Structure 1
Amino acid sequence: MINSTPIIGAPRAGSRTPRQQRGYRNPTDAWLLWIFFGWLGLHRYYIGDWKKGVAMTLTLGGFGLWSLLDGFFLTRRLRRINSGRL
């Protein structure tokens, strides 16, 4: 006879891991998007800030200034997203 009691702490089949529930974003991917396509705001779409992404796309990254400033704050924003504090 097979024991059907679940192991305590084991995830159920089909359940999502905490990283998947939070919407984990890879910092390397975000930085590469910022480096090559920051002027279009593609890094903003990737991290889930689609409204700011649209604004950056329409203004070409705030004429470069907004995109440049995002380089200083991208790591902090990713940490907040990945810790679940959005």
Structure 2
Amino acid sequence: MAKESVKARQKKREKLVMKYESKRKMLKKSKNYDLLQRLPKNSSPVRLRNRCSITGRCRGYMRQFGISRIVFRNLVSQGLIPGVKKASW
């Protein structure tokens, strides 16, 4: 489980990316890189990291479900994710 400070930092970055999205797009289109450079670093979408919505874990993230592989296994074994079952042959 990720530290609460790491989760909070990620949410802060997500807000900044949303806030400056249109401004960044406009500056890139006009090729005004000096003003683009002056925007906050955390407003760049490259600095975002995919994290599990439950635990905050960044490794083993499954994009289709938005959770990590460990949480995914637990939820599947409990039958909480519809349409997914454990493979056996």
TM-score range, shorter chain: under 0.3
Per residue, is there more strand in 1 or in 2? 2
Per residue, is there more helix in 1 or in 2? 1
TM-score (norm 1): 0.23
TM-score (norm 2): 0.23
Asked which structure has the greater RCO (Cα within 8 Å, sep 6+), the reply is 1
